[in-house]
Amino acid sequence: MDKKKFRQKYNLFLVEGNKTINELFNSNFKIKEIFSTDPQKLDRANVPVTHISENELKKISFLQHPKDSVAVCYLNEEKKLSDQNLQLVLDGIQDPGNMGTIIRLADWFGIEQIICSKDTVDFYNPKVIMSSMGSFARVNIVYENLTDYLLNTKNLNIGTDMDGENIYSFERPERMNLILGNEGNGMRPETEKLLQKSVMIPRFGKSQSTESLNVSMAAGIILGQLFGVRE
Amino acid sequence: MDKKKFRQKYNLFLVEGNKTINELFNSNFKIKEIFSTDPQKLDRANVPVTHISENELKKISFLQHPKDSVAVCYLNEEKKLSDQNLQLVLDGIQDPGNMGTIIRLADWFGIEQIICSKDTVDFYNPKVIMSSMGSFARVNIVYENLTDYLLNTKNLNIGTDMDGENIYSFERPERMNLILGNEGNGMRPETEKLLQKSVMIPRFGKSQSTESLNVSMAAGIILGQLFGVRE
């Protein structure tokens, strides 16, 4: 189940930990069954729960230090919402930790939808699910042909680029997509062509050797700015 | 060398990758020797370089996918600078990835010093060094008795707390410490007592279940705000 092809074959994915599993009861996700060392901590038992030992949990968990439960859940049917006023668009994000962090950011800022290129890491990947800390259940995530999508959206497509407009003077448009590129290569040239504008976070440190900020950190700082209320 | 006691016993730590190693030549850090599969890519060879095989590199590297070189470096003598106008203060940060990310943020925003509680993760920890992406060589990091330090600093001590002042209306004082607490437990009560104020990032998402932002992400968003130029 750590491989996309198996998740798709069986239409199932795993969620670990009572805390996140309990949140699923109030979400669109359906749980097939739960294996738990501590079933009392599960909110509701309207799904089959098997009481298992710590050792059994270790065998089915993807975690180095497994928590209390593993839930086997059904994949949701992907369904794109109409464009929201502020959306994230991911162009080839590969690192599950970044993906999870970005989903968590979206949830924090109340962003309801993330549009991903087809080659963006699968959000059902167990590392994404874990690092999103339950937020995956509150954000609608869809995988689209990005060129088609960006061509047809009525939102302004805003990229991130060191040559972009300073985020501190950028005026947030009424409707926008914030586009985040691949960790190593950035956005695809086809995506860049479809941008109306780019923004950048100025570097205040003096050293030229300083690495660019990680994509999820950059997303957080930009979102922080976009939500800022300027007097 | 992945254990603090060995680093302290031998007064040495490891830095991996030609890119970061090359940055050390322009820093206060002294390299003892380098083991490299690709010595040509090293800027200067005024330190002993041993050409090694990929297999040998695998044995001495801490990385799952080792890069090209490992440098054995001397620990620097710790030396606190006088208080800077904006500093980060870490109260028990434990996760090496968070620590590395925070060092990288400091470097990005030109923050010259980080004050750490004695129980904050050692920044010479190989995972910290790696995730700081070379930034550790550009930020002065010291470990202090935090209560003593916070009592005596002339900077305002500003914490982070969901009950704090909204970061979007917070006026940055001329001299301040931004204090970041432990991942699970936050700041120690002794630290909290010495705060002049706290700030918080408002959550725009509606769900009460949303987890707080990770400490390094919160730091990034707050720093982004503090550096914002308000018209």
Residue numbers in A near B134 (CB within 8 A): 209-211
Beta carbons of B207 and A138 less than 8 Å apart: yes
Q: Which residues in chain A have their CB less than 8 angstroms from residue B227's CB?
A: 168, 202, 204
The contact set of B with A (CB < 8 A) is 23, 26, 101, 104-111, 133-135, 138, 167-169, 201-207, 209-211, 213-214, 216-217, 220-225, 227-231
Q: DSSP secondary structure string, A13-63?
A: EEEESHHHHHHHTTSS--EEEEEES-GGGSS--SS-EEE--HHHHHHH--S
- State CA B92 to chain mean position distance: 12
Q: Which of these, A103, A221, A160, A185, lies nearest to B104 by C-alpha position?
A: A221
Q: What is the pLDDT along chain B (231 residues), one digit of tens a residue?
A: 668 888 888 899 999 999 899 999 989 999 999 999 998 888 876 899 999 999 999 999 988 889 899 999 999 999 999 999 999 999 999 999 999 999 999 999 999 999 999 999 999 999 999 999 999 999 999 999 999 999 999 999 999 998 999 999 999 999 999 999 999 999 999 999 999 999 999 999 988 888 899 999 999 999 999 998 644
* Interface test mutation site (partner A, options B28, B129, B140, B217, max chain A beta carbons within 10 A): B217
Tokens of residue A145, six digits: 């042909």
Q: Residue A88 pLDDT more than 80?
A: yes
Residue B83: the pLDDT is 98
- Smallest CA-to-CA distance from B74 within B24, B141, B142 is with B24
pLDDT band at A231, cuts 50/70/90? very low
- In 3D space, the residue among B42, B1, B39 whose CA is nearest the CA of residue B19 turns out to be B42
- What are the distances in angstroms from CA A53 to CA A16, A66, A68? 15, 12, 10
Kind of pairing, strands B69-74 and B31-36?
antiparallel
CB A115 within 8 A of CB A191: no
Backbone angles phi, psi at A230, to 5 degrees: -95, 130
Report residue A5: phi and psi, to 5°. -65, -35
Give the residue-averaged pLDDT of A131-156.
97
**Domain annotation for chain B: domains and CATH numbers:** 4-74 (3.30.1330.30), 86-202+215-226 (3.40.1280.10)
Query: Distance between CA B57 and CA B20 in Å, rounded?
Result: 16
Q: How far lies A191's CA from each of A11, A175, A180, in Å? A: 31, 18, 10
B150 three-state secondary structure? helix
**B210 to A23: CB separation less than 8 angstroms, yes or no:** no
Instruction: Say what the pLDDT of residue A118 is.
Output: 97
B101/A214 CB distance under 8 A: yes
Q: How far apart are the first and last CA of chain B?
A: 50
> Shortest Cα distance from A224 to chain B (angstroms)?
6
Write the residue in A104, A211, A216 that is nearest to B133 by C-beta: A211
Q: Do B168 and A221 touch (CB under 8 A)?
A: no
Give the mean model confidence (pLDDT) for residues A80-91: 97
Give the tens place of pLDDT for each residue, A148-169: 999 999 999 999 998 999 999 9
Enumerate the residues of chain B whose CB falls inside 8 A of the CB of residue A211: 104, 133-135
Question: Is 90 exceeded by the pLDDT of residue A138?
Answer: yes
| Residues A139 and A107 sit within 8 Å (Cβ to Cβ) | yes
Interface list for chain A against chain B, based on CB atoms closer than 8 Å: 23, 26, 101, 104-111, 133-135, 138, 167-169, 201-207, 209-211, 213-214, 216-217, 220-225, 227-231
- The per-residue pLDDT for B63 is 87
CB-based contact B220 A230, cutoff 8 Å: no
DSSP string, B117-140: ETTSPPTTSHHHHHHTTTGGGTSE
Helices A215-226, B215-226: axis angle to 10 degrees equals 50
Residue with tokens 């059994």: A56
Helix ranges, A37-178 (H): 54-60, 96-109, 126-131, 146-152
For the segment A115-131, the average pLDDT, to the nearest whole number, is 96
Chain B nearest CA to A203, separation (Å): 5
pLDDT score of B5: 86
Mean pLDDT, range A4-17, rounded to an integer: 90
Q: Is B214 in Cβ contact with A217 (below 8 Å)?
A: no
Between chains, do A224 and B227 touch, taking CB under 8 Å as contact?
no
What does the alpha-carbon distance between residue A70 and residue A155 come to, in Å, rounded to a whole number?
39
Record: contact B221-A221, CB cut-off 8 A: yes
A32 pLDDT exceeds 50?
yes
Measured torsion, CA atoms of residues B217, B218, B222, B228, in degrees rounded to the nearest 10:
30
Q: What is the pLDDT of residue A229?
A: 62
Question: What is the pLDDT at residue B231?
Answer: 40
Span of A57-66, A67-76, B146-155, B183-192 with lowest mean pLDDT? A57-66
A221 vs chain B: nearest CA distance in angstroms? Answer: 5
CA torsion through residues B22, B26, B29, B31, sign: positive
Across the interface, of A108, A133, A213, the residue whose CB is closest to B108 is A213
Q: DSSP character for B182? A: B
Q: Nearest chain A residue to B215 by CA: give it.
A: A217
Round to whole Å and give the CA distance between B163 and B141. Answer: 29
Query: What is the percent of chain A with per-residue pLDDT over 70, rounded to a whole number?
Result: 97
User: What is the helix, strand, coil percentage profile of chain A, to 5?
Assistant: 30, 25, 45
- Which tops the pLDDT comparison, A41 or A183? A183
- What is the band of A89 on the pLDDT scale with cuts at 50, 70, 90? very high
CB contacts of A221 in chain B (<8 Å) are: 220-221, 223-224
What does the pLDDT read at residue A103? 98
Range with the largest mean pLDDT of A17-31, A43-57, A100-114: A100-114
> How far is the alpha carbon of A88 from chain B, nearest alpha carbon, in Å?
15
Q: Most B CBs within 10 Å: which of A26, A136, A217, as the mutation test of the B interface?
A: A217
Contacts 24+ apart (CB under 8 A), A166-173: A166/A199, A166/A200, A166/A202, A167/A199, A167/A200, A167/A201, A167/A202, A167/A221, A167/A222, A167/A225, A167/B224, A168/A202, A168/A225, A168/B227, A168/B228, A168/B229, A169/B229, A170/A199, A170/A225, A172/A226
Residue B29, min C-alpha distance to chain A (Å): 16
pLDDT in tens, A191-202: 999 999 999 999
DSSP state, residue B186: B
